[in-house]
Amino acid sequence: MEDLNKYPHPFVTVDLFIFSIINDKLSVCLSKRETPPFKDVYSLIGTFIHEDESAEGAICRLLEEKLGVTNDLVLNQLQTFTSLHRDPRGRVISISYYTIVSNPDLIKPSWAEWFNIEETSIGLKFIGKNTFLEDNLGFDHAKIINAGVKQLQEKVENSYNTFSFQFLKDKNAFTAFDLQTVINAVFLGKKNELLNRGNFKKYILNRYEELKYIEKYDKEVKNTKGRPKDVYRIIER
């Protein structure tokens, strides 16, 4: 059999971005690089793929060992980036993944920071606690995040799926309002006008209920004025 070693082989990394919703805004978790290249610059969280693991395996290792996340998360492969000079260290290709956490506090390390995503006329900008990012991300990661946000929106667009449920903080007690907040966040506020409250409840939530994706099970314990919201929980399959 042919000897593979006669072929030059590029290095392969996985890069992950984690989405969540913070203060009703779509947010992404980035890290400040502690080593060159791009020392002190923010970028996606990544690692080289080891010989004995798949790309998903590398992402899981990243989540467990570096980020301390042991929950089972749904991993979505986004795209593989291969342009020649994307990494100054040499020939490195990157397989990018994204995932969703409902609770941003799941990510413990201090070097991992959350950034709200906002849309400007020229593109996305990322607003951290003390930092403000626009195009100043390491590698080609600004481009990757743009592609990721777009794909996330496409996945949620198709209303009659359960993809957006991943953002819900409590899968056993949420309301139409909660889910609509998620969807508004994913679309960076732009869908606010598109679907009014009444129709959302009637056509989206009631439809999910008919399809047995969710079930009503109790009224909200509330302490504000007004009629209490219907409370749902997800029906596990």
Q: Summarize as ranges the residues that interact with DNA (CB under 7 A).
A: 159, 175-177, 194-199, 201-203, 206, 219, 222-230
Site for its own copies in 10-69 (CB under 8 A): 10-12, 35-37, 48-56
Cα four-point dihedral sign 29, 35, 41, 47:
negative
Q: Which is nearer to its own copies, 11 or 203 (CB)?
A: 11
Q: Which is nearer to DNA, 70 or 196 (CB)?
A: 196
If one counts every other C-beta atom within 10 angstroms of the C-beta of residue 84, the result is 9
Least spacing, CB of residue 10 vs its own copies, in Å: 6
Is residue 146 at the binding interface for its own copies, with CB under 8 A as the rule?
no
How many Cα atoms occupy the beta-carbon half-sphere of 201 within 13 Å?
12
Binding at 229: pick from DNA, its own copies, none (beta carbon under 5-8 Å per type): DNA
To 10 degrees, the CA torsion angle through 141, 47, 18, 91? 20
Q: What is the rounded distance in angstroms from the CA atom of residue 174 to the CA atom of residue 209? A: 13
Query: Given the rule CB under 8 A, which residues bind its own copies?
Result: 1-2, 4, 7-12, 35-37, 48-56, 77, 79-80, 82-84, 88-93, 95
